[in-house]
Structure formats: structure tokens, C-alpha cells
């Protein structure tokens, strides 16, 4: 088995056995604002909990359109992995050779202790965690065939002139501290207008990227490749210690809520005008997330622009573990210069999002629609593009129990069915439920979990339920059509 094929299999199997793209099932609940701020920072206002404390969370999402496992389920793969065994053999791995361009996308996250406070017209959050991303885009079909069959041992593709352009690869890992503030800036009758922003400080860990602008080669045989032209930039960075100068990022969000009753004097989670919540009929959110860059220092940077090179004995070429991007360094006299002007920065996977959430029944059953559109990366910059998606998520939510069934279209065309359940403080979910339960073609994997401590009421409202049982609150409505004051 050739090296490229072996690495591809190892990459897929490793991610499948690990413990999502956006964790759609746990993203929108009004009882978990520590999750929803990652798609819209203004969503933490009017939460159904006064404090949401996240203790720990983790998740992995992987998708690609090239390599897959045949006739396996993620549950069986994970079960074998916990036992230190695996039934996966080389013949279980298959390759999709029907496309002109290929891509892969991976996101991992760890959510450390974090807290969201929501009271009245104000909300704030402190979030600590870590993220990593890897993205490959526009891998040409001939490269995909070489990955499957090998280069020296696949004479069918020898003596053919190959060209490629705009191939992008990037990977980054970082720790972050996020500060979020949101404010309800207008309440008029049944309308509420809210805005929020997040400021992020990054601590970079590792990163790498390659932009191949133009590539023209001919594979002569099993030992010679003629490189007619190569225009590319590459960077590699690995910090032994976390780099405190890792850059900055921003999120911005806006939310409009149409309430079921007059909200002019509504102060959620506050004893100011009563501790009850006025439900919304629907809400619409707009946001832009992950504006910024992760910075690395020091870096190893190579800029290539050369032609007419005969690469001898390419099959025996050894990769430099300390700097895998210096493969053609002897052929480039000015390797320190290239098209990328700030090679120490890798752009975050910035995306814009629109959300629509509708209260179907009794403020318990909702349906959400969310669209996420990633921004492309400028030609002369290093960075990642966030995967596009469209999701529709029906859910049931209450203080002790949430359940959601998100249906999403990855890159607007690959359907996924997920599921998420929160029982008390514990949430477990996936955006790829079918791959977990049934044997099928597995092009990726996804799982996420959270452990939280939600505190529902302001301390001054601890006697609220007692007051309601005494007949003062009823259903939380007074004769003047305003929320009833709580018993203090």
C-alpha cells in the first residue's frame, strides 16, 4: 500500500474513533446560551436561565468527498476502538473518483469552564476553550487518483501533462478567551431589538498552510517527474509553548424578537418587573462570526516560483519533519519572499449566518432554520473557509430536558440527519446520526457533548414559585397585562 493511501486511511480512521460541524442540535436552545453565542452573540439575551455555567464540552466534526469506509457504522468503529481492536481492512476503504475537485474539512473543539449571565436588558459571557481546524480545497482529480493508486506504480497516469491551480490547504490550533456583551437597545410593544459583540484573544499552538497558485508537471516514470512550473507559498509553525501573541478576533450579532405580549416593560430574569418570561412568537438573527487572524511566531515560510526542474528519484524523497514545506528549497534562490505579505497570520474560518426560530407550541416546541455561508480567503493570504450549511431543526426544550433532530445540508448539497439530547446538565449529540446507527458509506464523523450547570432564577426570585402556588402569580400575568412581581 503506497504512503499517500496509508496516510489517508489513518486520517479517516483516527477521526472516526475520536470523540461537530456546528452542533446544530445543541446550538439554539434557550436554556443553553453558552452554545448559542457561537452562532450569534446577541442570542444570549432573554435566555431562559439567569446563569448558564459550562463545565466542560468537546466535539469533533470531519467531512470529505473523496475517501469513505464501506459497510461500517460509527458505533461499531468506536466500540472496537475502545477495546483496542479494529475490523477495518484496506478493502473497506473506497475512493470516489467521480469529481473534478475534492475537499476535506475538520473541526475540533474543547469548551473549558464558561459562563453566560442574562438579566434585564443586558447579558455578558466569559468563554474559555480551544479549537482546531483543517481544510483542503480544490484538490484536482489527478492528485486524487495518485492518492488511491500511487505515483510510481500507476503507469496509466504517466507521460501526461498535469496542471492545477488555486489548491488551498490550511490547519491551525489555538486556545481562546472570549468576552461577550449583548444589549437590548429597543423595546416597543411586542418588538425587541438586540445586538451583541464578542471580543476574542487567541493563544496560538500550531499552524500550517499552503497556497498552490499554479502547478504544471509531467510524471515520466517511477523515478522522474518534470516540474515545468511551480508557484506556491507555504508556512509552518509549531510553538513548544503557547504563544500569547496569537492574535485577536471579533463576532457581531443582531436579533429581532416578536413577542407574544407587550414587552415594553419586560426585564427577563430580573425581579425589577417580575421574574416570569414573556415568550417570543419568533425571532430573526443575523451575525458575522470569527473575523480575525491567528498569529504565529516564529514561522518557517517558503515562497516558490520556479520552472524547468527535473525531480529525480522522487519516490525516495524524505520529508523534513521539522519543516515539511521545504521540499523544493534548493530550487528557489529567494525562498523567503512570496505572494503572501503577512505569512505569520492564518485567517479564521469567517462566516455570516442568518437564523430564524419559531415558537410552534407552548414555548416548548420550536423549529429553527439556520444558514451559514463561509467567506473565501483572499488569493494572497493564508486561511480557511468555513464549510457552508443549511439546517432545519425541530426541537423540544424545557429546563430539565431538550431534544432536537437537526436536518442539514453540508455545503448545501450533502444531507445529514442529526440528534441531540440534554438530560439535566449533560448534552450528547451528533449531526451524523445515520452513520452512527446504520452500516453505510462513511465520508465523515461527528459527535459532541457538554456538561453544564444552568441556574434558572435570579437569587431574589427564589420564592417565585411559592408565590405562584399561593395564587398571586397564576400564569405570570396580572390584570394590567404586565408581568406579575415576584414575592421577595
265-286 per-position pLDDT tens digit: 999 998 876 677 899 999 999 9
User: What is the spatial distance between Cα 178 and Cα 131, in angstroms, rounded to a whole number?
Assistant: 12
Which of 90, 100, 109 has the alpha carbon at shortest distance from 12? 90
Predicted local distance difference test score (pLDDT) of residue 90: 80
User: What is the spatial distance between Cα 394 and Cα 408, in angstroms, rounded to a whole number?
Assistant: 12
pTM: 0.88
Query: Could you tell me the three cell numbers for 401?
Result: 430536558
Query: Could you tell me the three cell numbers for 321?
Result: 519533519
User: What is the spatial distance between Cα 355 and Cα 393, in angstroms, rounded to a whole number?
Assistant: 11
Provide DSSP, 200-231. EEEEEEEEEEEEEEEEEEEE-SSSEEEEEEEE
Angle, helices 74-82/3-16, rounded to nearest 10 degrees:
90
- 329 against 418, higher pLDDT: 418
User: What is the spatial distance between Cα 60 and Cα 171, in angstroms, rounded to a whole number?
Assistant: 15
Predicted local distance difference test score (pLDDT) of residue 71: 87
CA dihedral (16, 377, 406, 59) in degrees, to 10, reads 40
Predicted local distance difference test score (pLDDT) of residue 274: 65
SS3 71: strand
Task: Average the pLDDT over each of 42-56, 81-95, 125-139, 226-240 and give the range with the smallest value.
Answer: 81-95
Query: Could you tell me the three cell numbers for 15?
Result: 477521526
Cβ distance 147 to 208 under 8 Å? Answer: no
Look-up of cell digits 431534544: 403
Cβ distance 297 to 372 under 8 Å? Answer: no
User: What is the spatial distance between Cα 12 and Cα 9, in angstroms, rounded to a whole number?
Assistant: 5
Q: What is the CA radius of gyration of the chain?
A: 26
Query: Could you tell me the three cell numbers for 125?
Result: 459571557
Cβ distance 452 to 54 under 8 Å? Answer: yes
User: What is the spatial distance between Cα 427 and Cα 398, in angstroms, rounded to a whole number?
Assistant: 13
Domain spans of the chain?
3-456, 457-488
- 333 against 234, higher pLDDT: 234
User: What is the spatial distance between Cα 181 and Cα 192, in angstroms, rounded to a whole number?
Assistant: 17
Residue 290: enclosing H or E segment and its boundaries?
A: strand 280-295
Which of 163, 102, 172 has the alpha carbon at shortest distance from 137? 102
Cβ distance 207 to 296 under 8 Å? Answer: yes
Which one of 1.10.10, 3.30.70, 2.70.98, 2.40.160 gives the CATH number of domain 3-456?
Answer: 2.40.160
User: What is the spatial distance between Cα 315 and Cα 398, in angstroms, rounded to a whole number?
Assistant: 60
Which of 294, 344, 298, 354 has the alpha carbon at shortest distance from 130? 294
In whole numbers, what is the pLDDT of the chain averaged over residues?
A: 88
Predicted local distance difference test score (pLDDT) of residue 323: 79
Predicted local distance difference test score (pLDDT) of residue 480: 37
Quick count: other Cβ atoms within 10 Å of Cβ 466?
Answer: 12
Pairing outcome for strands 280-295 and 191-219: unpaired
Look-up of cell digits 464501506: 70
Look-up of cell digits 417580575: 274
Put residue 72 in one of left, alpha, beta given phi > 0 → left and psi -120 to 50 → alpha: beta
CA 22 from chain centre, in angstroms, equals 5
DSSP, res 324: T
User: What is the spatial distance between Cα 402 and Cα 405, in angstroms, rounded to a whole number?
Assistant: 11
CA separation (Å) from 87 to 64, 285, 450, 465, 471? 22, 46, 30, 55, 63
Confidence category of residue 106, pLDDT binned at 50, 70, 90: very high
Which of 181, 297, 303 has the alpha carbon at shortest distance from 250? 181
User: What is the spatial distance between Cα 50 and Cα 457, in angstroms, rounded to a whole number?
Assistant: 5
Give the pLDDT confidence of 337-372 residue by residue, as tens digits: 899 989 999 999 999 999 999 999 999 999 999 999
Cβ distance 199 to 176 under 8 Å? Answer: no
Q: What is the mean pLDDT of residues 152-163?
A: 92
Query: Could you tell me the three cell numbers for 4?
Result: 499517500
Cβ distance 484 to 477 under 8 Å? Answer: yes
Confidence category of residue 466, pLDDT binned at 50, 70, 90: low
- pLDDT at residue 449 tops 80: yes
Confidence category of residue 450, pLDDT binned at 50, 70, 90: very high
Give the pLDDT confidence of 211-231 residue by residue, as tens digits: 999 999 999 999 999 999 999
User: What is the spatial distance between Cα 316 and Cα 329, in angstroms, rounded to a whole number?
Assistant: 17
Amino acid at each position: 500500500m503506497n504512503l499517500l493511501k496509508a496516510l489517508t486511511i489513518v486520517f479517516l480512521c483516527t477521526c472516526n474513533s475520536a470523540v461537530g460541524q456546528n452542533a446544530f442540535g445543541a446550538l439554539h436552545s434557550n436554556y443553553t446560551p453558552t452554545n448559542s453565542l457561537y452562532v450569534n452573540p446577541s442570542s444570549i439575551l432573554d435566555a431562559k436561565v439567569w446563569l448558564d455555567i459550562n463545565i466542560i464540552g468537546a466535539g469533533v466534526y470531519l467531512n470529505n468527498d473523496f475517501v469513505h469506509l464501506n459497510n461500517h457504522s460509527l458505533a461499531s468503529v468506536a466500540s472496537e476502538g475502545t477495546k483496542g481492536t479494529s475490523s477495518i481492512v484496506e478493502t473497506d476503504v473506497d475512493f470516489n473518483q467521480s469529481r473534478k475537485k475534492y475537499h476535506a474539512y475538520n473541526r475540533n473543539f474543547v469548551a473549558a469552564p464558561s459562563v453566560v449571565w442574562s438579566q434585564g436588558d443586558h447579558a455578558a459571557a466569559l468563554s474559555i476553550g480551544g479549537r482546531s481546524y483543517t481544510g483542503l480545497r480544490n484538490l484536482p482529480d489527478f492528485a486524487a487518483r495518485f492518492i488511491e493508486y500511487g505515483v510510481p506504480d500507476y503507469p496509466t497516469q504517466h507521460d501526461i501533462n498535469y496542471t492545477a491551480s488555486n489548491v488551498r490547504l490550511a490547519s491551525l490550533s489555538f486556545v481562546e478567551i472570549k468576552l461577550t456583551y449583548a444589549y437590548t437597545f429597543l423595546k416597543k410593544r411586542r418588538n425587541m431589538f438586540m445586538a451583541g459583540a464578542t471580543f476574542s484573544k487567541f493563544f496560538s499552538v500550531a499552524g500550517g498552510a499552503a497556497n498552490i497558485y499554479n502547478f504544471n508537471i509531467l510524471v515520466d516514470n517511477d523515478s522522474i517527474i518534470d516540474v515545468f512550473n511551480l508557484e506556491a507559498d507555504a508556512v509552518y509553525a509549531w510553538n513548544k509553548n503557547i504563544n500569547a501573541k496569537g492574535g485577536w478576533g471579533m463576532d457581531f450579532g443582531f436579533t429581532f424578537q416578536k413577542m407574544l405580549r407587550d414587552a415594553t416593560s419586560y426585564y427577563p430574569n430580573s425581579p425589577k418587573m417580575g421574574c416570569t418570561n414573556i415568550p417570543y412568537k419568533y425571532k430573526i438573527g443575523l451575525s458575522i462570526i470569527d473575523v480575525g487572524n491567528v498569529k504565529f511566531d516564529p514561522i518557517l515560510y517558503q515562497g516558490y516560483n520556479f520552472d524547468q526542474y527535473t525531480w529525480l528519484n522522487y519516490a525516495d524523497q524524505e520529508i523534513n519533519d521539522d519543516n515539511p514545506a521545504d521540499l523544493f528549497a534548493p530550487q528557489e534562490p529567494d525562498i523567503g519572499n512570496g505572494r503572501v505579505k503577512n505569512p505569520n497570520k492564518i485567517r479564521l474560518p469567517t462566516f455570516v449566518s442568518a437564523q430564524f426560530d419559531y415558537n410552534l407550541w407552548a414555548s416548548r416546541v420550536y423549529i429553527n432554520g439556520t444558514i451559514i455561508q463561509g467567506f473565501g480567503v483572499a488569493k494572497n493570504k493564508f486561511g480557511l473557509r468555513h464549510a457552508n450549511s443549511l439546517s432545519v431543526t425541530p426541537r423540544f426544550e424545557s429546563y430539565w430536558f431538550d431534544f432536537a433532530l437537526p436536518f442539514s445540508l453540508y455545503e448545501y448539497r450533502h444531507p445529514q440527519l442529526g440528534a441531540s439530547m440534554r438530560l439535566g446538565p449533560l448534552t450528547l449529540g451528533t449531526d451524523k446520526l445515520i452513520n452512527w446507527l446504520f452500516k453505510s458509506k462513511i465520508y465523515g464523523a461527528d459527535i459532541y457533548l457538554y456538561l453544564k450547570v444552568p441556574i434558572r432564577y435570579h437569587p431574589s426570585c427564589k420564592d417565585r414559585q411559592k408565590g405562584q402556588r399561593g395564587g398571586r402569580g397564576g400564569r405570570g400575568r396580572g390584570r394590567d397585562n404586565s408581568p406579575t412581581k415576584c414575592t421577595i
